[in-house]
């Protein structure tokens, strides 16, 4: 399966002659793409091939990349956007991946020259040029924002967040672990649910509620508060029952989810000064877009006392995550000067920190099976 990416950014210096392998690694799915920076004075970034894999179907990330790579022997480097925190030794701290991740092991198994790691939502932020084209739904605020920091947040297997900060010709992307901050409750019901969750977790984080597993946590805690038996045990089951209205506790769980999301995003907007807008990504929200639109999400987002007026001027948009993580990983790599490439300041934001690279000399094998040019 090959999907068409949004319009590609323009890159403005010497570009790598060989394709780049890029992956967006989440707790449930891995999206992999083969990208090529074109030649000439004003070249495009082209998606040659793209596929999605289920993490649970493979023993590790190297096996997924090997399945995608097949006979593409000319691929020499890989940029990986991963949920979690990259350490200096190339390993990743993550509570959401089903297996350990090490760039050194991947480089060795695939015979690559180097593997580069970047936070997954940092990578999505580096795909800022594609955000507007990926908009599914405008939830709040004006159609156009002022020039300012842009916040990208996505509940999925965990909760990711990154901030894109304009800075002249060198925009900065700030990766965060916002999902690990403490969850705040506002209503009596939310407080009761939070107290139930505190019996299971010493530290109840935002992603303990605002994620796929978090939805199950909310539902289970709500059942305890209501002295009812839980009949659903997966996010998909709760979402389906909540969206159809067939289960009152599932409906109330989804209402809790949307309200907490709105309140949390309002807090984040104020904490990070996200005057440039907020983009909601991840795998969950597009599935519940109608429910989200008809919930108290916006009212909870705006319910910040005297700051309500300020928040009314911040656009909040739901976007289709899709290929943004893969495109962002490639844009991040090229933007940081990979193989002497640099990105145009009007399209792809520049990197804000060094990558975690594991580099070793290896022989290049001739020939590669070109994917479909989009």
Token digits for 166? Answer: 């304009």
Rounded to the nearest 10 degrees, the angle between the axes of helix 235-244 and helix 248-272 is: 110
DSSP, collapsed to helix, strand or coil, labels residue 49 as strand
Q: Which of 115, 79, 120, 122 is nearest to 97 (CA)?
A: 120
Do residues 24 and 322 touch, judged by C-beta distance below 8 A? no
Q: pLDDT tens digits, the chain, 374 residues: what are they?
A: 333 333 333 333 344 567 899 999 988 889 999 998 766 444 467 888 999 999 999 999 999 999 998 666 678 899 999 876 767 776 777 777 888 888 888 999 999 999 998 888 888 888 877 787 778 899 999 988 888 999 999 998 889 899 999 887 778 899 888 999 999 999 999 999 999 999 999 999 999 999 999 999 999 999 999 999 999 999 999 999 999 998 999 999 999 999 999 999 999 999 999 999 999 988 789 889 999 999 999 999 999 999 999 999 999 999 887 788 899 999 888 877 654 332 222 222 222 223 333 322 232 222 222 222 22
Residue 222: which residues within 8 A CB-CB, separation 6 or more? 193, 196, 249, 252, 253, 256
DSSP, collapsed to helix, strand or coil, labels residue 116 as strand
pTM of the model: 0.76
Residue 155: which residues within 8 A CB-CB, separation 6 or more? 207, 210, 211, 212, 214, 261, 282, 284, 285
Give the DSSP H/E element, type plus range, for residue 113: none
Token digits for 267? Answer: 């807090």
């Amino acid at each position: 399966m090959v999907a068409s990416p949004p319009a590609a950014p323009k890159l403005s210096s010497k570009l790598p002659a060989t394709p780049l392998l890029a992956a967006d690694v989440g707790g449930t799915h891995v999206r992999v793409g083969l990208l090529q920076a074109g030649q000439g004075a004003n070249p495009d970034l082209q998606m040659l091939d793209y596929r999605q894999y289920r993490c649970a179907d493979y023993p590790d990330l190297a096996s997924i990349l090997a399945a995608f790579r097949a006979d593409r022997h000319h691929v020499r480097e890989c940029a990986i956007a991963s949920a979690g925190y990259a350490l200096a030794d190339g390993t990743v701290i993550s509570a959401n991946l089903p297996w350990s991740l090490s760039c050194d092991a991947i480089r060795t198994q695939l015979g690559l020259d180097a593997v580069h790691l970047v936070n997954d939502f940092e990578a999505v932020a580096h795909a800022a040029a594609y955000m507007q084209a990926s908009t599914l739904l405008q939830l709040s605020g004006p159609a156009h924002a002022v020039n300012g920091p842009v916040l990208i947040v996505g509940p999925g297997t965990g909760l990711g967040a990154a901030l894109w900060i304009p800075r002249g010709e060198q925009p900065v992307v700030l990766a965060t672990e916002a999902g690990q901050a403490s969850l705040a409750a506002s209503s009596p019901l939310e407080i009761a649910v939070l107290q139930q969750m505190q019996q299971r977790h010493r530290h109840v984080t935002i992603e303990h509620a605002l994620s796929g597993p978090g939805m199950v946590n909310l539902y289970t805690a709500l059942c305890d508060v209501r002295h009812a038996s839980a009949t659903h045990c997966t996010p998909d089951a709760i979402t389906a029952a909540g969206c159809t209205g067939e289960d009152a506790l599932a409906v109330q769980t989804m209402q809790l989810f949307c309200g907490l999301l709105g309140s949390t995003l309002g807090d984040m907007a104020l904490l990070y000064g996200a005057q440039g807008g907020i983009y909601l990504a991840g795998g969950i929200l597009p599935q519940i877009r109608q429910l989200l639109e008809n919930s108290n999400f916006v009212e909870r987002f705006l319910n910040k006392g005297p700051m309500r007026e300020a928040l009314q001027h911040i656009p909040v948009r739901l976007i289709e995550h899709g290929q943004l993580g893969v495109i962002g990983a490639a844009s991040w790599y090229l933007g940081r000067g990979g193989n002497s490439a640099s990105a145009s300041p009007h399209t792809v934001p520049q990197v804000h920190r060094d990558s975690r690279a594991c580099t070793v000399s290896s022989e290049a094998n001739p020939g590669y099976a070109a994917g479909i040019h989009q």
